[in-house]
């Protein structure tokens, strides 16, 4: 799990550190830089996928692409620095992963980002493998002497002298060091893979309906493409967990898949959608109660997507959701957030979420350190800064004496994250 991200010189973020939990929710006014935080992580993860930071890979992870001079800070009165630096700390790693990169041309849209990425030991993966090989080579040089000493130690009444002991100690030290570094390399590789899979889900209804195919990400696209494929390939256990949430849509009887696409011929969809996901409405007559993704309400598609990516073993362990509240009723937002916090723990997922809907906050338990809420704002220089809201302010209603919900505290201005200009 990622424990901290330190971002320098990326878009509106000049220098900011964020200590992450398992579920992280970011609130703030429009344009304060919430999405930039998600994109910084996606930007760093791209360096794991390719030797150069390719714009097509960036776009596939949900990053808004611009020419390099717009991807770095450009504040008034400050000379522009072309280098982006992103440090990511991972659980059980003493040192952070570090990405330092700059464009080969800062004013061309197609410019390549170049530079260096360092692993958790302060060296890159290739350098670490060389170090391990060198340690084993040194051990092999004295291996024959070690064999002789071991043979000598097995003889009766033979006592090893200090030089023999020194050779054995050197050999043990070299082998032990190489073994530890090999184990560390394996652990680091796992951690780096976790970062490399990171992406940003930003749903749109046409993609969920199977009407567009903008993202080729597997097993499901960042805009919701191939939702039907993701769920159709669920294991029996995963499917049982997902079906437990059918109650969240009052009209929903069940969902099903037409693997042969035969229902299209019966007119259940107008041959526009590629999705083979269908829903049945429990209030309608059985002969006329089936809806394709093309015709179902958009709320069920968004809801199913969020639950499915939290449940699936094939979706990334760490990912982001931009504007999670889109198309969802406020009451549903609150309950969905509560359930997603549970699913994150049960399925070992880590998620970063942005929202503009106060109802999302009512699904958060801020007394649980794994659930974290952040205010995002821009300071008087326009630089994005984050502040963790650790405890719920105990503000009482003057009339009833009741304490306010987090949603009410936000809209009333007690949490910040709202405009101060109007």
Decide if pLDDT at 187 tops 60: no
- What's the whole-number mean pLDDT along residues 28-38? 97
Quote the CA–CA distance of 14 and 9 in Å, as a whole number. 5
Report the 10 Å Cβ neighbour count for 12: 20
Q: Tell me the pLDDT tens digit for each residue of 159-183.
A: 667 787 788 888 788 777 777 766 6
Decide if pLDDT at 380 tops 80: yes
pLDDT tier, 184 (very low <50, low <70, confident <90, very high otherwise): low
Decide if pLDDT at 123 tops 60: no
Decide if pLDDT at 156 tops 60: no
Task: Considering only residues 181 and 76, tell me which one the structure prediction assigns the higher pLDDT.
Answer: 76
Domains of the chain: 1-124+316-422 (3.40.50.300)
Chain mean pLDDT for the chain: 88
Q: How many degrees, rounded to 5, is the angle at CA 332 between CA 330 and CA 337?
A: 100
Q: What is the SS3 assignment for 361?
A: helix
Residues 6+ apart with CB under 8 A from 354: 25, 26, 27, 34, 35, 38, 320, 321, 322, 323, 324
Tokens of 233: 């390939």
Q: Would you call the peptide bond into 219 cis, given omega within 30 degrees of 0 as the criterion?
A: yes
Task: Considering only residues 388 and 145, tell me which one the structure prediction assigns the higher pLDDT.
Answer: 388
pLDDT tier, 409 (very low <50, low <70, confident <90, very high otherwise): very high
CB 374 within 8 A of CB 387: yes
Q: Tell me the pLDDT tens digit for each residue of 298-343.
A: 999 999 999 999 999 999 999 999 999 999 999 999 999 999 999 9
Task: Considering only residues 121 and 145, tell me which one the structure prediction assigns the higher pLDDT.
Answer: 145
Report the 10 Å Cβ neighbour count for 324: 24
Q: Which of 29-38, 155-164, 333-342, 344-353 has the lowest mean pLDDT?
A: 155-164
């Amino acid at each position: 799990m990622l424990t901290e991200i330190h971002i320098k010189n990326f878009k509106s973020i000049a220098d900011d550190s964020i200590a992450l939990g398992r579920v992280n929710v970011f609130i703030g006014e429009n344009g304060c830089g919430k999405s930039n935080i998600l994109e910084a992580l996606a930007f760093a993860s791209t360096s794991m996928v390719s030797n150069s930071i390719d714009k097509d890979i960036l776009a596939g992870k949900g990053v808004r692409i611009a020419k390099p001079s717009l991807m770095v800070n450009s504040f008034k009165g400050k000379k522009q620095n072309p280098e982006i630096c992103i440090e990511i700390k991972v659980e059980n790693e003493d040192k952070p992963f570090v990405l330092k990169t700059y464009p080969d041309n800062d004013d061309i849209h197609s410019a390549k980002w170049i530079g260096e990425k360092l692993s958790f030991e302060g060296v890159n993966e290739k350098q670490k493998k060389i170090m391990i090989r060198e340690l084993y080579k040194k051990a092999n040089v004295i291996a024959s002497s070690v064999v002789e000493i071991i043979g000598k130690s097995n003889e009766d009444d033979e006592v090893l002298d200090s030089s023999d002991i020194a050779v054995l100690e050197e050999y043990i030290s070299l082998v032990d060091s190489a073994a530890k570094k090999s184990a560390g390399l394996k652990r680091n590789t796992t951690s780096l893979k976790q970062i490399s899979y990171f992406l940003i889900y930003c749903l749109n209804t046409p993609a969920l309906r199977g009407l567009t195919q903008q993202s080729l990400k597997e097993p499901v696209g960042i805009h919701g493409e191939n939702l039907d494929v993701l769920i159709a390939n669920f294991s029996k256990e995963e499917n049982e967990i997902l079906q437990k949430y059918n109650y969240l849509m009052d009209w929903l009887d069940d969902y099903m898949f037409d693997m042969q696409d035969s229902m299209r011929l019966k007119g259940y969809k107008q041959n526009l959608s590629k999705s083979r996901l269908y829903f049945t409405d429990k209030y309608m007559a059985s002969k006329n109660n089936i809806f394709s993704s093309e015709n179902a309400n958009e709320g069920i598609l968004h809801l199913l997507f969020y639950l499915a990516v939290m449940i699936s073993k094939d979706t990334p362990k760490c990912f982001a959701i931009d504007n999670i509240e889109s198309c969802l009723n406020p009451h549903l937002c609150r309950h969905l957030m509560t359930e997603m916090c549970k699913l994150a723990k049960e399925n070992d997922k880590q998620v970063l979420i942005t929202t503009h809907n106060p109802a999302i906050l009512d699904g958060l338990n801020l007394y649980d350190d794994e659930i974290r809420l952040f205010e995002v704002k821009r300071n008087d220089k326009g630089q994005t800064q984050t502040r963790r809201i650790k405890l719920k302010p105990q503000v009482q209603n003057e009339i009833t004496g009741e304490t306010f919900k987090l949603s009410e505290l936000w809209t009333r201005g007690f949490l910040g994250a709202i405009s101060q200009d109007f």
